[in-house]
Structure 1
Amino acid sequence: MSYPLYRRGTFAVIDGVSYPVSYANGDNYVRFADGDENRPTPYPRDSPVPVDLCERVFSVQVYASYRGHSVLVDGVDELGGARVMDAEWDGEWATINGFVQENRYEYYKHIDLRDLRDYYEKQSDLLFTRWRAAHFARPIDGHPFRGGWANGESAVVGGRPRSGILEIEDGRVTEVTTRAEYRGFPCEIAGISPDGSVGLYYVGVDQERAEADGFRPRDGRPAKTVHVYDLARYHEHHLDLQFERWRQSREFSTER
């Protein structure tokens, strides 16, 4: 039996339900596949849906840990198997662990889903730049950043960023952190203020490089305040709290 909540691709959330859609960056509409029987009923089947009517539009990639390494879960089958790709670009480790090289950099393996740990969705926010342009002006040179951290007040603008244990669309329960890149540094977003200030925690491994770029200790973590227009690859990290329960329920089953 496969994990029923596995998914990949592009989705739109409408009235609290997620639907697979197609979406071109910067477009004003999402589009459903021809003949999609699961399309929300208020919308004509032959017309696209305005993104302004969507609560979220995002793309999903699924990652997990396999033997201590990060892997991309490229697909699953009905028998509980998974096709995974080494996501750390470590050809030596991949070869030793039974992965097969399919092109110059990518190594794949078919495994049992039950062998995965720390299963999460990387949900790339496809409306982030649209939201950013609607809420913030570009920064003024020399203007200090004064916000980005809660400090007793909510540091959330228009529903972003999200964090904590949330029950999201379709009854999914996940532990959410919002992340982005700042000048190539992978970061967790602590908060966003109305002036565009963003509080960041560095989540990478090169502490010396982060310190050289101005990250300083805050709450025991390297931190920095930047502007929202300095961010790239804005996404949410959804640690799936239901996957581990499913995995444990199948742990001693002879049925895959």
Structure 2
Amino acid sequence: MGDALMAYLVARHGEFATIGGIEYPCAYLPKTNTVRLVSRAAENPNPELYRWNEQWKVWLGELPADRFERVVAVNSYARYQGHRCEVETVEPDGSAELIYADWNGAWARNNDFVQTDPGTYRKTVPVSELYDYHEEQVDLLFDGWRERNFARSAGDKP
């Protein structure tokens, strides 16, 4: 596997918000329709977005969601021996931590996945044994956009 691929192959998980063309890890708060940005950097990463929070000892930004171009939830997946798995991490040594994400727990147990919780099976494999690696993203602002732009039918509940 080439170095360029390893440099790009990062298992992303969580929520990310894009503002001004820059993507930040975040937490989307749907009840208030806000996006919370947190940074533990030594210096303020962006004074337009962050303020120091003394209580938590972090740079904190909480902004209305409509200021962001995108807010998405991201998970990374691949196929291992034909089965769908979530790729939790990709390590510098070329190993990947997998969580079995298919329907056959017996197959996972029989193929050396370790059950860590009911219905959760984990295994570390060489990244070279994975294929169909991809991210799945869910647009967290889509429902609100749809509500603002499209009428409901008479039978739909608000």
Q: Does 1:132 align with 2:146?
A: yes
Q: Does 1:76 align with 2:90?
A: yes
Counterpart-to-counterpart distance in 1, 2:137 and 2:118: 27
TM, length-normalised to structure 2:
0.78
Q: What pairs up with 1:94-113 in 2 under 5 angstroms?
A: 94-113=108-127
Asked if 1 retains the 8 angstrom alpha-carbon contact of 2:37 and 2:50, the reply is no
| Aligned-residue RMSD, C-alpha | 2.2
2:48 matched to which residue of 1?
42
Which consecutive segments of 4 or more residues in structure 1 shift more than 6 A? none
Give, in angstroms, the shift of residue 62 of structure 1: 0.7
2:26 matched to which residue of 1?
21
1:85 matched to which residue of 2?
99
Q: What is the SS of the residue equivalent to 2:144?
A: helix
Counterpart-to-counterpart distance in 2, 1:67 and 1:3: 24
TM, length-normalised to structure 1:
0.50
Asked if 1 retains the 8 angstrom alpha-carbon contact of 2:36 and 2:61, the reply is yes
Deviations 1:160-218 (A, max 9, x none): xxxxxxxxxxxxxxxxxxxxxxxxxxxxxxxxxxxxxxxxxxxxxxxxxxxxxxxxxxx
Considering Cα pairs closer than 8 Å and 6+ residues apart, tell me whether 1 or 2 has the greater RCO: 2
- Please tell me the residue identity of whatever aligns with 2:8: P
Give, in angstroms, the shift of residue 121 of structure 1: 0.9
Unpaired segments ≥5 residues, structure 1: 142-228, 230-256
Deviations 1:130-156 (A, max 9, x none): 111111121135xxxxxxxxxxxxxxx
Deviations 1:62-97 (A, max 9, x none): 111111111011222222211101111311211222
Query: Are residues 26 and 32 of structure 1, via their aligned partners in 2, closer, same or farther at CA, if it must alter by over 3 Å?
Result: same
Counterpart-to-counterpart distance in 2, 1:117 and 1:89: 18
Task: Name whichever structure is richer in strand by fraction.
Answer: 2
